């Protein structure tokens, strides 16, 4: 169990996030219902006041407990395609699927 000024770097869906206990982070969609508990076992680094553990590639016996707060869509992005001299124009929209997680507990050995 780590204090508030300590943090870990955890891998979630292929991207790395710096988190501490009590943080809320928005990540790419994670499967699960709202309110479900989630265990993140891919901890890459654990930093606390006295020492820092760097995983090779993962920190052994370290995990993060998180809770899914919300599944939602991100802001709409407009993507335009254009070809010169051929009167071809196309505009598409894209909204990424996101998940808001609350970091509840960080366990290290």
How far, in Å, CA of 70 to CA of 85, rounded?
46
pTM recorded for the entire structure: 0.81
Taking the domains of the chain in order of start, what are their residue ranges? 7-107
Burial 34-64 (b: 16+ CB within 10 A, else e): eeeebebebbbbbbeeeeebebeeebeebbb
Cis peptide before 57 (omega within 30 of 0): yes
Residue 109 Cα distances to 62, 86, 90, angstroms = 7, 64, 54
Q: Decide: 53 and 45 in contact? Cβ < 8 Å.
A: yes
3 has a pLDDT exceeding 70? no
Model confidence over 27-64: pLDDT tens digits? 999 999 999 999 999 999 999 888 888 989 999 999 99
């Amino acid at each position: 169990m780590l204090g508030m000024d300590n943090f870990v770097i955890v891998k979630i869906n292929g991207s790395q996030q710096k988190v501490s206990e009590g943080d809320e982070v928005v990540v790419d969609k994670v499967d699960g219902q709202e309110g479900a508990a989630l265990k993140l076992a891919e901890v890459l680094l654990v930093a606390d006041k006295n020492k820092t553990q760097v995983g090779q590639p993962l920190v052994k016996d370290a995990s993060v407990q998180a809770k899914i707060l919300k599944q939602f869509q991100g802001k709409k992005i407009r993507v335009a395609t254009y070809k010169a001299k051929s009167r071809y124009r196309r505009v598409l929209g894209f909204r990424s699927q996101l998940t808001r997680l609350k970091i509840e507990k960080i366990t290290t050995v």
